[in-house]
Structure 1
């Protein structure tokens, strides 16, 4: 797996920061933003599903940014998220889809498909 210019491997979760996210968007990357909380049972249910999907070849170039729902309120607001367990996909600067509270592997896979 090659190291990307952003200092992360494809499929690796990055702690969200606006500068890295903007650089990924400018580069036209496939992006998943996870609005996550450590105490959230839905987030915990999403984690193994996302982990398995991110291992698939078709998502090998997916950049995953994790926004902490509790400590990154400005980012949560900027993404228009109202609650944790929100998943937002982008292809470059274009938002391609979002879901809230979804723990269905098929529909999460369909959401990630919108990044390719």
Structure 2
């Protein structure tokens, strides 16, 4: 850009900045369209249920080998276009004891699925992606 006149250099820099801005905006919109998982938050969970949104809660523990085996499938499904309307909360099995009690969840690696504010499906220990997809699909 050294060989450009000052005005042309400013225009080139401005164009580069605008392209960068639009690229970041596009990437941000794409990321929000396929948000993936989010940590469990009582207020957000209660709000989603109150509005009848499709919700999955995954009771996860970092020390759990089954949870580690589920992780790749969860990541793929949570960001897939078919599950874009499903909010996936990850509840820490070691910390969310009140939620576990309320939902009668006895062990980690459990998915609890809600549609229309009501529980419609549940799965514990499942690692097969197709089976997890089928369980989550009941939220839709």
State how far apart, in whole Å, the 2-side matches of 1:54 and 1:65 are. 10
Q: How many residues are treated as equivalent by the alignment?
A: 112
- Bigger relative CO (Cα 8 Å, ≥ 6 apart): 1
* 1:10 to partner: Cα distance: 4.9
**Bigger proportion of residues as strand:** 1
Structure 1 residue ranges without an equivalent (≥5)? none
> Does 1:92 find its partner at 2:116?
yes
Aligned to 1:71: 95
- The alignment yields a C-alpha RMSD, in angstroms, of 1.8
Q: TM-score, normalised by structure 2?
A: 0.73
> Does 1:102 find its partner at 2:129?
no
Q: Which has the larger radius of gyration?
A: 2
Q: 2:49 aligns with which of 14, 25, 32?
A: 25
State how far apart, in whole Å, the 2-side matches of 1:88 and 1:32 are. 6
Q: 1:13 aligns with which of 37, 57, 65?
A: 37
Asked whether the 8 Å contact 2:37–2:75 carries over to 1, the reply is: no
Aligned to 2:74: 50
Structure 2 residue ranges without an equivalent (≥5)? 1-28
Asked whether the 8 Å contact 1:31–1:92 carries over to 2, the reply is: no
Q: TM-score, normalised by structure 1?
A: 0.87
**Bigger proportion of residues as helix:** 2
The 4+ residue runs of structure 1 with deviation greater than 4 A are: none
